[in-house]
Amino acid sequence: MEEQPTRSRTVRVRIALDVICVHSFLGYTRFTRAADQLRAEGHRLEVEFLPFELAPGAGTEGEPLLPVLERMFGPQTVRQSLLFAEQVAAEGLELHYERAVATGTFEAHRLIARAARQGRAEQMVERLFRAHFTDGLHIGDGATLDRLAGEVGVTADDFGSGAAATGPDTTAETERLRSELDRVRRLGVGGVPVFFIDGVQPLTGSPSQAALFAALREAARFAPAG
């Protein structure tokens, strides 16, 4: 008997993350690979990003990350971070902590929200992770964010002319982001990443690619067709 083709399903995923969180970077990288596997089977994914600040209220002056980690958490944290960088290199992640810049991420999340309105959120998130952990760019800096937006093809929208724009529209956008950050914390998110995949239990931390793919496949079984 001829095998029937798999019906295309649409799986909805919400991911809470922060682009200065190394576990978010690892988890999201694994998720994108699992998502590619699911899409290769003919299914669709709708991915939404939920903002979370690892360091709420942190400034955007920009300091070398390793001295900040040592000052706040001690030299053991620095050693653990460098060891972790070696371990995840096997998965293709380049973590250059010696270049990384400590910064707040409110403006980066504002850029992700703008990218989402233009259908480019997944590409923007990946570029921000790579900018911070691999390229050593200051992703709290407005000019840097504007340049990264241009690389991804994110343009000005109704909320302003760039990541560092000001005015009534961007004020509304800022208030919307603050409300969303509060809402995500009220959901019970106290650490990231968290993967909310419709129809299955939320996955926290940085699950394996296999675990993420299995969860996506399970969700596809019950997701709407089309």
Helix-helix angle 75-88:22-40, to 10 degrees: 20
- The domain ranges of the chain are 1-52+189-226
Mean pLDDT along residues 162-168: 46
* Model pTM score: 0.91
Using one digit for the tens of pLDDT, what is the confidence trace for 27-74? 999 999 999 999 999 999 999 999 999 999 899 999 999 999 999 999
Adjacent-strand bridge partners of 196: 14
Q: The domain 1-52+189-226: what is its CATH number? A: 3.40.30.10
Q: Which residues of 73-106 are buried (b: 16+ CB within 10 A; e: fewer)?
A: eeeeebeebeebbeebeeeebebebeebbbbbbb
Using one digit for the tens of pLDDT, what is the confidence trace for 181-224? 999 999 999 999 999 999 999 999 999 999 999 999 999 998 88
CA proximity to 92, closest of 173, 10, 154, 32: 32
User: Over the chain, what is the mean pLDDT?
Assistant: 91
Residue 220: how many CA atoms within 13 Å on its side-chain side? 23
